[in-house]
Amino acid sequence: MNKLSQRSEISYNIIRAIFHNPYHVIRTDTLDRLAKVLEVPVTELIEDVSEEQRKRELGQSV
């Protein structure tokens, strides 16, 4: 995570928050920087998840 933070010039705390909670809200420019550093299209970093599935994965009642 430290290398990714340095290479993308994104705060380590933001990288860690995304790692621990994939539903963490981030700005599109952050997503773009991550994709460039990882050499993947932005679409590889996005997944369409239903509200029900999101709640299940976060351990919230459905």
- Write down the pTM of the prediction: 0.76
Query: Residue 18: exposed, middle, or buried by beta-carbon count in 10 A (0-12, 13-18, 19+)?
Result: buried
Which one-letter DSSP state was computed for residue 9? T
Distance, CA of 22 to CA of 3 (rounded, Å)? 19
What's the Cα-to-Cα distance from 2 to each of 8, 9, 10, 42, 61, rounded to whole Å? 10, 10, 10, 20, 34
For 3-61, the pLDDT digits (tens) are 999 999 999 999 999 999 888 899 999 999 999 999 999 999 998 888 888 788 888 76
User: What is the pLDDT, as a whole number, of residue 49?
Assistant: 82
